[in-house]
Amino acid sequence: MEKQHYLKLIDEELATAPWFVQEYYQAKATIPLSPATLYQYLTEFRRFFNWLISEGLTSAPHPSEIDIQVLATIKKETVELYKSALLNQSKLTGARGSRTHPTINRSLNALSSLFKYLTEDTEDEHGEAYFNRNVMHKIALVRTNETYATRAANLKTKLMLGHTDHDYLDFIDQQYETKLSPAQKRYFHRDKQRDLAINALLLGSGLRVSEAANADLRHLNLKTGTIGVIRKGGQRDTVPIAPWTLPYIQAYVDQRQATYHATNQDRALFLSSYRGHASRMQANSMEKMVAKYSSAFKVRITPHKLRHTLASKLYLATKNEQLVATQLGQNSTSATGLYTHIIDEEQRHGLEKM
C-alpha cells in the first residue's frame, strides 16, 4: 500500500517536471531505487528549480520549462547560494545544529544524482552525454561543525560592503581604461556610461539581472528615484533606487540616444549596438560585463552578488527583514535571514565593549 502511495505522488511530481527529470526517473526506476527515495529526489529537484525561478536565474516561468542548458552552465557559486538558502530555511523553522545537516545534504545528494545522470549516463543523437560539466563535483556537503554564521561569513567576503561598492564604480569610471589597448578603449568609451549605469542600478536597487535587462526607459523615473519592473510571476513592481547611484544612471540616459542611435521604437533602457543599430542588451551580456569589471577591480563576482550587496547593506541600515524582502521583490522573509548573519557590525561592537 505504501508503495502505491508513493507511486501516485511520483506521478504528480512528474506531471510538472522538465523532460530530463522524467527521463531520469525512468532510468532510476529500473535500478531500482525505492519509490520513497525517488519521490524525495523529485521533490528536491522541484524545490531547486523553484529557487532558480524565484531568484531570476532562469527565464522559465515554471519548473517544467527549465531548459537543460541552465544546469549545463550553472556556476558553483550559484549552487553555494542555494546551499545557504537551505541553511537559512532550516534556521527559520527552528532546527538547530546537526539536525539540519542530513536534510540539507539529502537535497545536495539528490542534485548530485541528477547531475551525474545527465553528465555520465545519458546519450544524445551523437552518443554523447547531454552535457559534460558536473558542477556538483565542486559542492561539499554540510559539515556538522559548519554553522549558518560560517556560511554567511564565507559569502560576506564576496560582497561589496562598506565603501567598496562606491570604490568599484569609481574604479570603472577613472581607472579601468588604463589596463586597455587603444582598440579596447574605443569600445570602452562608447559603453562606459551604460556599464556604469547598469552596475549602479544593480547596486542601488537589488534588481535581478533579468529584471534590469527587461526594463524599459519609460519605466525609469529619475525624479522619484524609482524604476518599474516585471517581477517573477508577471507581477509589476516599482522599485526604489539608492540616491547615490542615480547620477550614474542619469549620465547614461542623457547620452543613450546619441550613443546607440536609439529611435522611439527602442524601448529598452539598456541598449547594445550592432552594426550601427540599437538592440536590447541581454542578461547574459550584463553578466559578462560585471564579471569583466569586477575581475579587474578585486575579485570576479556576478550580478547576483551585487543584489546580495544591496540587501546586506539595506539590512544593516534598517534591521528590517520585511523591508529587505520587499526591496528584492520577495513575498516572504524566508530568503533574507542570511543577511542577519552577514551583517555582524553590532556583534563586533559589542565584543569591543567587553
The pLDDT of residue 340: 66
Calpha distance 290→270 (Å, rounded): 14
Mean pLDDT of 327-351: 65
The pLDDT of residue 354: 45
Q: Which CATH architecture has domain 164-349?
A: Orthogonal Bundle (1.10)
Calpha distance 184→268 (Å, rounded): 25
Calpha distance 16→13 (Å, rounded): 6
Place 87 in a pLDDT band, splitting at 50, 70 and 90. confident
Identify which of 85-89, 219-223, 324-328 has the greatest average pLDDT.
219-223
Residue in the block written with cell 550601427: 276
User: Distance from CA of residue 221 to its chain's centroid?
Assistant: 25
Residue 300 φ/ψ region, left for φ over 0, alpha for ψ in the -120 to 50 degree band, beta for the rest: beta
Mean pLDDT of 139-164: 73
Give the percent of the chain with pLDDT over 70.
84
pLDDT at 44 exceeding the cut of 80: yes
Residue in the block written with cell 579596447: 184
Mean pLDDT of 40-54: 95
Q: State which H helix or E strand residue 271 sits in.
A: strand 271-274
Main-chain phi, psi angles of 228, to 5 degrees:
-90, 130
Instruction: Indicate the residue type of 58.
Output: T
Domain extents for the chain?
2-146, 164-349
Place 32 in a pLDDT band, splitting at 50, 70 and 90. low
Place 353 in a pLDDT band, splitting at 50, 70 and 90. low
Place 267 in a pLDDT band, splitting at 50, 70 and 90. very high
The pLDDT of residue 84: 87
What is the model's pTM? 0.64
Nearest to 302 by CA among 313, 290, 292: 290
Q: State which H helix or E strand residue 220 sits in.
A: strand 220-221
Calpha distance 239→350 (Å, rounded): 34
Burial bucket for residue 25 (CB in 10 Å: 0-12, 13-18, 19+): buried
The pLDDT of residue 102: 76
Q: State which H helix or E strand residue 240 sits in.
A: strand 236-240
Mean pLDDT of 148-166: 76
Count of H helices and E strands in the chain?
Answer: 16, 5
Q: State which H helix or E strand residue 280 sits in.
A: strand 277-280
Contact between 224 and 238 under an 8 Å Cβ cutoff? The reply is no
Contact between 280 and 274 under an 8 Å Cβ cutoff? The reply is no
Calpha distance 207→163 (Å, rounded): 20
pLDDT at 335 exceeding the cut of 70: no
The pLDDT of residue 37: 84
Q: The sheet that has 226-230: what strands, in order across it? A: 220-221, 226-230, 236-240
The DSSP letter of residue 119 is I
Tens-digit pLDDT profile for residues 188-208: 999 999 999 999 999 999 999
Calpha distance 283→57 (Å, rounded): 10
Mean pLDDT of 245-267: 95
